[in-house]
Chains A and B, each alone.
Chain A
Amino acid sequence: MSGSKRQIVRLQGVAKRFGAVHALAGVDLDVEAGQCLGLVGHNGAGKSTLMHVLAGTLAPDRGAIVIDGAPREGQYSVAAAHRLGIRCVFQELSLCPNLTVAENARILHPAVKGWGWRGRAGRMIADKLDEIFPGHGVSADDVVGDLALGKRQMVEIARAFTVTDEPLHLVILDEPTSSLDSVTAEQLLVFVRKIVDEGVSCILISHLLGEVLGYCDRIVVMRDGQVVAARAAGEFDRHSLVSAMGDVAEDKKTAAHEARSANRDAAPVCVRARPRGKAAGGELVAHRGEIIGLSGLAGHGQTELLLQIYQAAGRRDRDTEVTGPVALVAGDRQADGVFHLWSIAQNVTVRSMRRMLWHGLIQPAREAAMAADWRQRMRIRTPDMNNPILSLSGGNQQKALFARALGSDAEIVLMDDPMRGVDIGTKLEVYDIIRAEAERGRTFLWYTTEMDELDNCDHVYVFRNGQVVADLPRGEMTEQKVLQSSFEQVA
């Protein structure tokens, strides 16, 4: 774009280590006013750590932080960053679940006070939600804990863009679209372009390369705690971006598994479920060895149905029939997945404890063997599987949860939008593992908010308002059809 713009942020030689792990090894980063900067790299490349430094939540071991032309060493903190107009939306959502949307908005804005603060905070956040996500369906009086993950993410994003007395110069969006469906993700990206044109800067971290290529002005690629490429977005294409990240594995799209959907009825039924209390809609059927996609807009009953199926396993249930052991890969990993006091190994093996037994006692050697096996298969980035699970980056924690389910005895694996924050290299590998496991007779029920992932599925069920409104075999599934059924008034 235009020549010498105002520098909002300049980081120089920023380094940070966690124990033996070099999260950042001397990183330089410049952001201009009115620029959308894309930041890409594998899980554990140091993107989130760098953003935590910029947001003031982590102090770097060394390096200079220059904000708005003035060096900010020493006294840089969350409060300082906020005063200087830097906001962030992190992967681990930071809303207080016991408060309402309006009250959460107020936390960021001490200026909203006195009589009627709740009403004013509510109007502020509601207006911003309307502006970014028209038709969002969130009320300012909703308690955050009752909202689905996607809705919470929308509130978190909208809150970051609200302004009272402090300026707004730079918004950091760390995987903002990972729990949004394609429609709301598009709304967000359009909004980001709009405010960038108005002079606000954005840093967008995303594993969806299309988003980064399509909406950013400049792209910075990180690998192993360093910046390995930084160029204008126009100079990259999908291929060069992937290879800059250090991945040779190109997008090898689906080809092999066309055959199975044809003779569907030959395989026995594994799961038959109708969303509870929704007699009107259709039911979901999964045959042995199938990969079933659950689609539609985020928060329309997909997660609820997965939980219903999970609970019905090994019991009698009127609406739900499940024939084998079930495992679940959580999407909301902090609430549903991770045991934060435990090591990575313990987190992986917890679902398979019974296999580790010898004379009734858990054998550490068997545990270590399983952990080592899955560390290699999922490429979990850690020097030691006995490290605490929280030493891993978000995407790597997610890999550990995948390992927990895939390593278990489950014949049916439920996946609740599990690829949040997982990089493409790993995603492609996990897709391969899922397909291989399906060939071997495992059944997958896969809720995803990413349209591309539906290509891996044999059958796609579209959800709206808690009902199954469409049943698309692989041959008939197109993005357009899915979107149509997501919005249609009458199925």
Chain B
Amino acid sequence: MSTAMVRIRVLLARPWIWSFLGALAVWLAAELFTGGQGAGELLTATLSFAVFMVIVGIGQMFVISTGPGNVDLSIPATIALTGAVAMKTMGGADAMILPGMLAALAAGAFVGACNYGLIRLLRIPPIIATMSANFLVMSTAIAYGRGLKVKPPPLFADFTTAQVAGIPVLAICTAIFAAVMGVVLHRTVYGRSVHAIGQNRRAARLAGVAVDRTRFLVYVLSATFAGLCGALLAGFSGGSSLSAGETYLLASIAVVVIGGTSVAGGRGNVPGIWGAALFMYLLEAMLNTYGAGAGLRLILTGLIIILVITIAGGDRPQR
């Protein structure tokens, strides 16, 4: 008995477990209402949408982990731009899928490099730099896409919507992707450097950590993941759209924080992002099935998020 107790206690001490418990509770609440009907469909739908949030959330998590003040607000515009880049490059032809993906990723990386250029060379605080970049990138996306909706190549659209036994193929790929990024965060020099910088940038520099390179890569990584998300999202939803990234501005930060990453930096968490993304979508689905009006839905969303963060303990106070 005691070993089981110890195991449970160890599990509860993990900051990511709460987002999963929250997701489970919300799912059960939704199923309770419908009497278990469509439980599988709800999960499938949730997984399909959560995937995109997880991809951008991981990039945002790396940024936030490099310490207070670091955040990427250019994600929405990057998603819009890269979606358009991917669709136009592919031009509806299956043969151009790979070049289209690469073009989207490259466009994302370029946005990230510009972000860090603003932060480092012009010494603009990250929150302002990435917000301004968001405007610039968005107008680029408008000029580039001209509001035309290019359809994805059929093969690409099939891939982004494919399912195996009710589980979206994209979700499986993203799970593997998240696992790899978890290893990068905890077991590589790069991940350790991110955490060191997040705790104390000055001490990190004096301990031999390559601070500038690490921070540069963090912003490039975040925007590149937004590019990946933008391309996949365009395929998934039958074409790029300028508003595709809108919801990811604050939600990408929310999933990182609910997932147990320290807002003060220095402690990142990958599994929690999955839990938090599922939680956010299930919460919305639950409130929809309960037939709550828009106003009530927003209030409940806010309150439940506060509840989960409070139970999870949030950030432990530092000495």
19 A/B residue pairs, CB under 8 Å, sorted by A: A336-B202, A336-B203, A336-B206, A337-B203, A337-B206, A338-B200, A339-B199, A341-B199, A341-B318, A350-B207, A350-B209, A351-B207, A353-B189, A353-B192, A354-B189, A360-B188, A361-B188, A362-B187, A362-B189
4 further A-B pairs in the complex, CB-CB below 8 A; given A339-B199, A390-B319 = A328-B207, A339-B196, A341-B267, A342-B199
* B266 in the interface (beta carbon within 8 A): yes
**What residues on B are CB-neighbors of A357 within 8 Å?**
189
Q: Which of A385-430 contact B (CB under 8 A)?
A: 390, 404, 408
* B208 in the interface (beta carbon within 8 A): yes
Q: Which of A335-357 contact B (CB under 8 A)?
A: 335-342, 346, 350-351, 353-354, 357
Shortest CB-to-CB span from B96 to chain A, Å, is 33
Q: Which of B189, B206, B209, B267 has the most CB of A within 10 A?
A: B206
CA distance A137 to B268 in the complex (A): 44
**What residues on A are CB-neighbors of B188 within 8 Å?**
360-362
Interface set of A (CB-CB < 8 Å, partner B): 310, 327-328, 330, 335-342, 346, 350-351, 353-354, 357, 360-362, 390, 404, 408
CA distance A361 to B183 in the complex (A): 8
Interface residues on B, range: 20 to 34
Q: Is the interface of A mostly helix, strand, loop or mixed?
A: mixed
B 263-274 binary contact with A (CB < 8 Å = 1; else 0): 000110000000
What is the chain B residue whose CB lies nearest that of A311?
A: B205
**What residues on A are CB-neighbors of B88 within 8 Å?**
none
Shortest CB-to-CB span from B87 to chain A, Å, is 35
**What residues on A are CB-neighbors of B204 within 8 Å?**
339
Q: Which of A327, A341, A361 has the most CB of B within 10 A?
A: A341
Shortest CB-to-CB span from A443 to chain B, Å, is 17
* B215 in the interface (beta carbon within 8 A): no
Contact A335 B202 (CB under 8 A): yes
Q: Which of B162-219 contact A (CB under 8 A)?
A: 183, 187-189, 192, 195-196, 199-200, 202-204, 206-209
CA distance A326 to B204 in the complex (A): 14
CA distance A353 to B195 in the complex (A): 13
**What residues on B are CB-neighbors of A341 within 8 Å?**
195, 199, 262, 266-267, 318
Query: Lowest 9 CB-CB distances: which A-B pairs, in order?
Result: A361-B187, A339-B199, A353-B189, A341-B266, A328-B206, A351-B208, A350-B207, A362-B187, A351-B207
Picked from B187, B200, B209, the residue with its CB within 8 Å of the CB of A340 is B200
Q: Which of B188, B189, B199, B262 has the most CB of A within 10 A?
A: B189
What is the chain B residue whose CB lies nearest that of A92?
A: B319
**What residues on A are CB-neighbors of B189 within 8 Å?**
353-354, 357, 362
